[in-house]
């Protein structure tokens, strides 16, 4: 007579002092309490999009995470960060996809998304527990989370919201420019999600402290030598010396002025001042949400009727892109030396550390040691070879000799400028005891 087997899978969660990590453990037993073997358990971080996951406020400020962890029985218990602590593009949007494997290719238990929470803060499921049993737990079934921006390099960005302009609660047509006349006494508020509201009373425009006629648009030409100050609450003042300040209203010159005062410019949106070229100063209102479909141009970007964002002639757009070269299976057969893969970079980029103190490159392995060479060749019909090495000294080849993750910002003796269409190749030049490896390269791409 065969005794039926009952499989229990326990993940024990509790918050550690000062770090909001989760301790995970796996216990699988039959109905008689005898331990059942398994190969490894894998935690895959889902719903992070094209972002590098991080834990704000941990350690020295920000801890950058990898998107996949695998633990053998000998490595458990282990610790990982809870989903409510992991930020992706500014959103707490992740879920852990947990699967236990009998061997390298056979799922045994799990294979679902779960929301692991160390507290109710940023917790999508709202469930916080110190002991979690996968055999009885229900997988996450709420609305799928949405990761934050930026979008991948060079992919058109389609707005997810529509900006509607209203006057006294009546919708207007889409506008290319929104002018505030008589803006003295204006207040800015956000009454509901996705809505920006401006309420104004008794506006005044001033030149040299004297009121002037209200203007729809004010442009500053030949503004080199100007200084900007805030002499009193709600007032912005620009004073210019050593040059002639020309004021334009709707592209028509007014008389030259030595000072212009902006009153009541405070609010959540705010005004920023830039010098995009030579002697031109621009003031931009920020803080609005959404994009109205329709072809128009602002000083730094152009948005066409389909929502495609491109840089204007005097501006630029920069996004961070991560290129991955994975190979093998965690706990699988040992890898041999050779090319991990190739990738064609569609636009000019620079190899650089990720924003917010992230790494420039990362090596992840399940075990063992490895060394990577990075090759690159201009756009053409042939992949790069060892003669196209982008790192001139073997001293600075990406390498891992201890642990399972190596991250670095060191780019000494690297050729970091990547041309549009350039073909990159990652070569596993030395390896020992590695069944799985993933080499990740961070590119900063602009236009």
What does the pLDDT look like over 24-51, one tens digit per residue?
Answer: 776 766 667 777 777 888 889 988 888 8
Clarify whether residues 106 and 225 are in a common domain. Answer: no
Place of tokens 């920020």: 286
**Cα distance between residue 131 and residue 185, in whole Å:** 56
Domain count, the chain: 3
Instruction: Tell me the pLDDT tens digit for each residue of 68-77.
Output: 888 887 888 7
More confident: 115 or 413 = 413
Clarify whether residues 276 and 324 are in a common domain. Answer: no
145 found inside a domain: no
> Whole-angstrom distance between the N-terminal and C-terminal Cα of the chain?
71
**Nearest partner of 131 among 28, 34, 23, 33, judged by Cα:** 23
Residue 23: CB atoms within 10 A of its CB come to 16
User: What does the pLDDT average to over 126-144?
Assistant: 73
Q: Facing residues of 114 across strands?
A: 96
**Cα distance between residue 152 and residue 89, in whole Å:** 12
14 found inside a domain: yes
- CB burial of 355-378 (b: ≥16 within 10 Å; e: otherwise) equals eeebbbbbbbbbbbebbbbbbbbe
- CB burial of 229-240 (b: ≥16 within 10 Å; e: otherwise) equals eeeeeebbbbbb
End position of a domain, from candidates 112, 133, 154:
133
200 found inside a domain: yes
Clarify whether residues 288 and 322 are in a common domain. Answer: no
**Nearest partner of 317 among 348, 290, 346, judged by Cα:** 348
The share of the chain scoring above pLDDT 70, in percent, equals: 56
More confident: 222 or 128 = 128
Clarify whether residues 280 and 213 are in a common domain. Answer: yes
Full domain range(s) for residue 24:
10-133
Q: Facing residues of 228 across strands?
A: 238
Which pLDDT does position 441 carry in this prediction?
Answer: 96
Clarify whether residues 331 and 442 are in a common domain. Answer: yes
**Using an 8 Å Cβ cutoff, are 259 and 240 in contact?**
yes
pTM above 0.75, yes or no: no
Clarify whether residues 350 and 410 are in a common domain. Answer: yes
305 found inside a domain: no
Clarify whether residues 171 and 278 are in a common domain. Answer: yes
Clarify whether residues 182 and 264 are in a common domain. Answer: yes
pLDDT band with cut points at 50, 70 and 90 for residue 91: confident
**Cα distance between residue 25 and residue 408, in whole Å:** 30
Whether pLDDT at 389 is above 60? yes
Which CATH number do you get for residue 393? 2.60.120
Q: Facing residues of 424 across strands?
A: 343, 376
End position of a domain, from candidates 292, 307, 331:
292
388 found inside a domain: yes
Clarify whether residues 335 and 428 are in a common domain. Answer: yes
Clarify whether residues 367 and 332 are in a common domain. Answer: yes
146 found inside a domain: no
- CB burial of 142-179 (b: ≥16 within 10 Å; e: otherwise) equals eeebebeebeebbeebeeeeebeeeeeeeeeeeeeeee
Instruction: Tell me the pLDDT tens digit for each residue of 233-251.
Output: 556 676 766 555 566 655 6
Please tell me the least confidently modeled range out of 114-123, 298-307, 366-375: 298-307
**Using an 8 Å Cβ cutoff, are 237 and 262 in contact?**
yes
**Cα distance between residue 377 and residue 388, in whole Å:** 6
**Cα distance between residue 213 and residue 206, in whole Å:** 9
**Cα distance between residue 409 and residue 412, in whole Å:** 9
170 found inside a domain: yes
User: What does the pLDDT average to over 370-391?
Assistant: 95
The share of the chain scoring above pLDDT 90, in percent, equals: 26
Which pLDDT does position 206 carry in this prediction?
Answer: 63
Whether pLDDT at 185 is above 90? no
Reduced 3-state DSSP string for the chain: CCCCCCCCCEEECCECCCCCEEEECCCCECCCCCECCCCEEEEEEECCCCCCCEEEEECCEEEECCCEEEEEHHHCCEEEECHHHCEECCECCCEEEEEEEEECCEEEEEEEEECCCCCCCCCCCCCCCCEEECCCCCCCCCCCCCCCCCCCCCCCCCCCCCCCCEECCEECCCCCCCCCCCCCCCEEECCCCCCCEEECCCCCEEECCEEECCCCCCEEECCCCEEEEEEECCEEEEEECCCCCEEEECCEECCCCCEEEEECCCCCCCEEEEEEECCEEEEEECCCCCCCCCCEECCCEEECCCCCEEECCCCCCEEEEEEEEEEECCCCCCCCCEEEEEEECCCCEEECCCCCCCCCEEEEECCCEEEEEEEEECCCCCCCCHHHECECCHHHCCEECCCCEEEECCCCCECCEECCCCEEEEEEEEEECCCEEEEEEEEEEEC
Which pLDDT does position 291 carry in this prediction?
Answer: 45
Clarify whether residues 249 and 356 are in a common domain. Answer: no
Angle 423-426-427 from CA coordinates, rounded to 5°: 130
299 found inside a domain: no
End position of a domain, from candidates 109, 133, 157:
133
Clarify whether residues 182 and 243 are in a common domain. Answer: yes
Instruction: Tell me the pLDDT tens digit for each residue of 402-425.
Output: 999 999 999 999 999 999 999 999
User: What does the pLDDT average to over 263-273?
Assistant: 50
* Phi and psi, residue 87, nearest 5°: -105, 135
**Nearest partner of 262 among 323, 195, 214, 326, judged by Cα:** 214
């Amino acid at each position: 007579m065969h005794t039926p087997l009952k499989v229990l899978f326990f993940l024990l969660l509790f918050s550690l002092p000062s770090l909001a990590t989760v301790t995970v453990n796996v216990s699988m037993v039959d109905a008689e309490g005898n331990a059942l073997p398994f190969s490894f358990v894998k935690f895959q971080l889902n719903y992070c999009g094209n972002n590098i996951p991080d834990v704000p406020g941990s350690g020295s400020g920000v801890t950058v995470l990898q998107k996949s962890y695998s633990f053998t029985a000998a490595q458990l218990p282990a610790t990982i960060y809870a989903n409510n602590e992991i930020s992706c593009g500014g959103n707490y949007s992740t879920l852990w996809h947990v699967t236990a494997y009998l061997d390298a290719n056979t799922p045994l238990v799990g294979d679902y998304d779960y929301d692991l929470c160390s507290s109710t803060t940023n917790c999508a499921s709202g469930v916080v527990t110190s002991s979690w049993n996968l055999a009885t737990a229900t997988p996450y079934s709420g609305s799928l989370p949405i990761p934050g921006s930026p979008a991948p390099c060079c992919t058109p960005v389609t707005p997810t919201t529509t900006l509607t302009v209203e006057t006294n609660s009546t919708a207007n047509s889409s506008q290319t420019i929104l002018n505030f006349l008589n803006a003295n006494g204006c207040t800015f508020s956000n009454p509901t999600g996705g809505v920006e509201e401006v309420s104004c009373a008794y506006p005044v425009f001033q030149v040299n402290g004297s009121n002037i006629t209200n203007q729809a648009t004010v442009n500053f030409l030949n503004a080199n030598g100007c200084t900007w100050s805030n002499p009193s609450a709600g007032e912005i003042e620009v004073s210019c010396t050593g040059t002639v300040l020309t004021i334009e209203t709707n592209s028509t010159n007014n008389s030259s002025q030595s000072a212009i005062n902006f009153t009541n410019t405070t609010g959540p949106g705010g005004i920023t001042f830039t010098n995009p070229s030579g002697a031109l100063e621009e003031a931009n209102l920020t803080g609005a949400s959404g994009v109205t479909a329709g072809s128009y141009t602002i000083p730094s970007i152009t948005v066409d009727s389909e929502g495609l964002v491109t840089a204007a002639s005097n501006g630029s757009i920069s996004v961070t892109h991560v290129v991955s070269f994975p190979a093998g299976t965690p706990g699988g057969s040992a890898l041999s030396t050779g090319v991990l893969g190739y990738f064609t970079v569609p636009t000019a980029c620079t190899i650089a550390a990720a924003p917010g103190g992230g790494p420039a490159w990362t090596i992840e392995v399940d075990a063992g040691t490895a060394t990577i060479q990075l090759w690159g060749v201009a756009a053409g019909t042939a992949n790069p070879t060892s003669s196209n090495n982008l790192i001139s000294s073997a001293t600075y080849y990406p390498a891992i000799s201890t642990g399972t993750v190596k991250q670095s910002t060191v780019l000494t003796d690297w050729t970091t400028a990547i041309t549009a269409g350039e073909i990159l190749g990652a070569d596993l030049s030395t390896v020992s005891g590695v069944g799985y490896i993933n080499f990740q390269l961070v590119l900063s791409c602009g236009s």
